[in-house]
Chains A and B, each alone.
Chain A
């Protein structure tokens, strides 16, 4: 019986990354919102908001840059991986 050829494109992991980025952006926004709404008026609070929002944005940009720099067109051949692993565990196969 022929073994079906199972492949997994690496772009599937970008969906997970996209969900993570949405959650990250949402929480960063609410973090800044709470500081703006409930923080004590003054230079310290403003500096904290700028630093937190700024660093969050920098991390996001660096992450997006590193991720877009990768080649996501590669496909994982799961059949090959499973067969290879099975042969290593069960050499007679």
Chain B
């Protein structure tokens, strides 16, 4: 498991300032979709109450039970994988660097880091009704590193995140004697 106190290549006096995940809207969307996909078929079974005898049919009954259990298990599996995808997407901002970890599906993980000194430009963006109402959006960081751009997707309080990183960049420059 990942321990924030024992980050890889941790420098002396390095401390974690921000630990970010996507806004809680992401797991809420997953949960609502999951509930819809469970409730709708269950509701249909209840609605067609006069067809309940199908389950006692010698050939149709077993097949309905098989198809039904496979469907519900598949819906749960997809929902849990989507949640894991959300949970493992993280952005860690320390007083020395930014670590970007992106879980893309179950078998693809992308991790990159950049030092604050290589940051050239930071912008925050909250576009849309929901983004504005719930104050979440993107933070884009332009760098001089190999990975030119870091994008914090749907993070809460993007303006505050941008301001915090800018402040850390300034402090890093003073610490390392840069202008």
Contact = CB atoms under 8 A, between A and B. Distances in A.
Residue with the highest number of chain B CB atoms closer than 10 Å, among A30, A38, A41, A66: A38
Nearest to B78: A27
B77 A13 contact: no
A50 interface: no
Interface residues of A, number: 36
Contacts of B124: none
Contact of B59 (A14, A38, A76): A76
Interface centre among B4, B19, B62, by most A CB within 10 Å?
B62
Interface string B1-39: 111100000000000000100000000000000000000
Given A38-B109, A41-B1, A63 B59 contact: no
B54 interface: no
Contacts of A67: 62, 65-66, 69
Q: Is the interface of A mostly helix, strand, loop or mixed?
A: helix
Majority-rule SS of B interface residues:
helix
A59 B58 CA distance: 24
Contacts of A13: 62-63, 66
A38 B70 contact: no
Interface in A23-42: 24, 27-28, 30-31, 34-41
A53 B70 CA distance: 17
B87 interface: yes
Interface string A1-39: 000000000100110110010001001101100111111
Contact of B106 (A31, A36, A52): A31
Interface of B: 1-4, 19, 58-59, 61-63, 65-66, 69-70, 72-74, 76-77, 80-81, 83-84, 87-88, 90, 101, 103, 106-107, 109
> Ordered nearest first, which 6 A-B pairs have the shortest CB separation?
A63-B69, A70-B62, A41-B1, A74-B58, A41-B3, A52-B80
11 contacts: A13-B66, A28-B77, A31-B81, A35-B87, A39-B88, A41-B1, A52-B80, A52-B84, A56-B77, A59-B76, A60-B73
